[in-house]
Amino acid sequence: MTTIATLAVKVIADAKEFISAMDAAERKTQTWSTNVSKKLQDVGSSMTSLGKNMTVGLTLPIVGMGVAAIKAASDLDETKNKVNVVFGDMAESVMEWSKTSATALGMSREQALGAAATYGNLFTSLGLGQKPAADMSTSLVQLASDLGSFNNANPEEVLLALRSGLSGEIEPLKKYGVAMNEAMLKQKAMEMGLGDNIQALSEAEKLQLRYAIIMGQTATAQGDFARTADGLANSTRTMKS
């Protein structure tokens, strides 16, 4: 075979090998491309699924929080309106008192104002003036917080017990250390210059007697929320409020 023929055969062989190598490389490239494309699709599907889950997991709670916040604001506005009606000229001082309710009472502002307005409505309906009604109402709400702290009790339950006691139903208050009977009422009435004939007293006067006895018998517990504000129970109430 001539030199030229030999070279021709070698060139053809090399060309075939080169083409074969290129074919193999192309097939590998296609396989790699297919694998990459599939993985990208898988990642895309996972991201889409994650996005949907995040939308449900984050959006719904955020919407729920927004609804709760709007309701809380609406409730507070309605309670403020009640306070204005019940306390009249004294409403502003009651509003000011409620601004520190979370740290001073462990209650939300709406809770504190609502409780004060409920007591105030009782007092004014019996003929007490707006100032004594405001003073007594805020003092009772503070007392409920202190008794709750002192006795490790729910302040809302204490508020109800205090309201019962003011109406003459003393039984609910006994577990908080308050006792009241005819002899105590007569003694307190005399101290207040109302005489000793309890039956002759007006409902407003009887209410003031009960209030005075309740405040006198709970002196030990008064101020307990402030004294134990750093404790776990009261810290939790403050944070929640």
pLDDT tens digits for range 81-122: 999 999 999 999 999 999 998 888 889 999 999 999 999 999
- Which spans in 106-192 are helix H? 109-125, 130-150, 155-166, 182-191
**Reported pTM:** 0.67
Q: What is the largest CA-CA distance in the chain?
A: 147
Residue-level pLDDT at 9? 45
Q: Are 49 and 56 in contact (CB under 8 A)?
A: no
**Mean pLDDT of the region 135-164:** 95
* CB-neighbour burial class of residue 83 (10 A; exposed 0-12, middle 13-18, buried 19+): buried
**Mean pLDDT of the region 149-162:** 94
Comparing C-alpha atoms, which of 169, 94, 182 is closest to residue 131?
A: 94
For residue 124, what pLDDT band results from cuts at 50, 70 and 90? very high
The model's pLDDT over 18-38, given as tens digits with 9 standing for 90+, comes to: 446 555 555 655 554 566 556
Q: Are 151 and 221 in contact (CB under 8 A)?
A: yes
- Name which of 4-8, 203-207, 214-218 the model is least confident about: 4-8
Residue-level pLDDT at 8? 42
**Taking the CB of residue 238, how many other CB atoms lie within 10 A of it?**
18
Residue-level pLDDT at 217? 96
